[in-house]
A and B are shown apart, each in its own frame.
Chain A
């Protein structure tokens, strides 16, 4: 079975967010970039399923410029077999989805996995766009994925519960907790990752449908109003009479 796992390169989760002076771009200076945490679930589960089947391949795909390669190598160190980088700045979800669909179509992948969303743009869109572009089912967000032959059983989160869904390959799923315990690379993986193939391809077209006009930070908080612990009940009165939220 051929797995395609799409990963994005995002600022580390503890990063203080700042922007360039014109507020058009995220300020990358001094920021550590990591594999999108949601994508790590997709990557690890694909590797686990390949190992369980004893056959198949896991290909990692990233749409990004050359500075994303350290994290692509990290994905290879975790256990992916090979990687493809589409050499382009990821303009928007539509642009990225087109690149993924194009690679997927040519590569004949059975299962396409990715994280539910990226922690920087929080779009939750790419999986659905890829599914629709390829005309195959999408299950999002998936909390569990098991395979039996060409049939997958997934648990999909819904508000207040879950759906158990069965689909046949090929399909797209976006992943989230508690699908698996993401793996970290070991020394052997790091060594072998250096020799695994990483193919760089040019993008298919340059169409995007959205553009960020400006980023902004939320307004600063006014400061905390402290209530003494011994008169904790006063807080409830303040929440009703001052904040008017209860």
Chain B
């Protein structure tokens, strides 16, 4: 019996969200008196996989099949299921990412496991029950969910768990083959298109986010958002009305029907704070709101605020960050 952690890699590196997932999995293993093994998906280097020891992982299974570089639902599901069988894993932990949720839901049927996604805390195992806390109602509430059965799958929300860093610890990397056939790659992508990310920081993975709304007046003013984001090392985002009128691309749209983010810092510039937008950001640790309307509803959800014109305030913030650095 062990805990299996699914680690997503990109360009040889382990994703930040997967460092959190590995930390979650190793802590669950410790609670249950067992060890945590990882299975790597995506393009990974052996050196980076070995460093998962710092997150408490003892062993990493790595299938070097080149076609696994890009996400293929059929192949990934088979690979992870094979790893779970090999390790006799009763708990499988993934990131609550597009990959994690897509594979996790298929795995739950294949392994006859119960599943909870969007999980924000370590499980509670009182009196024989196994309960996890997950986000619900688009971040406006939480649910404690009891997972039944012998096998359980947990998809952990990004930025919910602090990644462990136990310096000097390394994991043993073991070659692993899931005996994948061509049929397992039937839904392989014909093409992968990466979008330009401001400063190369992916919004769903970002610790810091600077976001603009209609108060920015037009796409020609977005340099003010980008300048502050660049100075902070933050990702950029926008509200729904902004992506609806094509000032910014859809993949920057944060909100109930866009991307849900939970960074350490969310700076909202010229966004009034409609309830649908708040639903996408209200699990951010610290929210800053800049708006010239003192009655903007977003101020009620904010930790810090500036009542002022974004065109005046943003350059001052950017300058202050540069001076601090």
Which A residues are closer than 8 A to B by beta carbons? 11, 13-14, 17, 19, 26, 37-38, 93-94, 97, 119-129, 131-133, 137-141, 143, 156-167, 176-178, 208-218, 221-222, 224-229, 232-240, 243, 245-246
Contact = CB atoms under 8 A, between A and B. Distances in A.
B105 interface: yes
B106 A212 contact: no
A239 B257 CA distance: 29
B264 interface: yes
7 contacts: A17-B137, A125-B105, A161-B195, A165-B190, A218-B140, A232-B313, A236-B321
A177 B251 CA distance: 9
Nearest to A14: B275
A218 B142 contact: yes
Contacts of A221: 300-303
B309 interface: yes
Contact of B97 (A159, A162, A224): A159
A237 B98 contact: no
Contacts of A38: 257
Q: Name B's interface SS.
A: mixed
A93 B15 CA distance: 28
Interface stretch (B25-33, B113-121, B172-180): B113-121
Contact of A235 (B96, B257, B306): B306
B88 interface: no
Nearest to B189: A163
A129 B308 contact: no
A164 B303 contact: no
Contacts of A126: 105
Given A157-B251, A161-B193, A235 B288 contact: yes
B193 A164 contact: yes
A129 B275 contact: no
Contacts of A97: 109
B45 interface: no
Given A131-B106, A235-B306, 20 more contacts: A13-B256, A17-B140, A94-B108, A125-B104, A128-B109, A139-B73, A156-B98, A165-B189, A167-B186, A208-B148, A210-B145, A212-B145, A216-B141, A216-B144, A217-B141, A224-B303, A227-B306, A243-B303, A245-B208, A245-B285
Contacts, number: 262
Nearest to A216: B142
The 6 A-B pairs with the shortest beta carbon distances in the complex, nearest first, are A128-B105, A229-B308, A233-B320, A163-B189, A209-B114, A161-B194
Nearest to B208: A246
Interface string B276-293: 100100110110110000
A129 to B, nearest CB: 5
B221 interface: no
A221 B305 CA distance: 13
Interface stretch (B49-57, B59-67, B197-205, B211-219): B197-205
Q: Name A's interface SS.
A: mixed
Contact of B144 (A124, A209, A214, A238): A214
A46 to B, nearest CB: 18
Contacts of A233: 316-317, 319-320, 323
Given A122-B136, A235-B304, A129 B106 contact: yes
Interface of B: 10, 15, 70-71, 73-74, 77, 96-99, 101-106, 108-110, 113-118, 129, 131, 135-149, 186-195, 197, 202, 204-205, 208, 232, 250-251, 253, 256-258, 264-265, 275-276, 279, 282-283, 285-286, 288-289, 299-309, 312-313, 316-317, 319-321, 323-324
B226 to A, nearest CB: 17
A153 to B, nearest CB: 8
A209 B147 contact: yes
B148 A211 contact: yes
B163 to A, nearest CB: 16
B71 A229 contact: no
B144 A213 contact: yes
Contact of B98 (A141, A213, A243): A141
A120 B317 CA distance: 37
Contact of A232 (B109, B143, B308): B308
Contact of B142 (A163, A215, A235): A215
B236 to A, nearest CB: 13
Contacts of B202: 159-160
A213 B145 CA distance: 6
A25 to B, nearest CB: 11
Contact of B148 (A158, A210, A216): A210
Contact of B101 (A125, A158, A226, A245): A125
Contacts of B256: 13, 37, 119
A208 B115 CA distance: 11
Nearest to B234: A246
Contacts of B70: 163
B146 A211 contact: yes
B62 to A, nearest CB: 21
Contacts of B131: 213
A239 B208 CA distance: 11
A218 B134 CA distance: 11
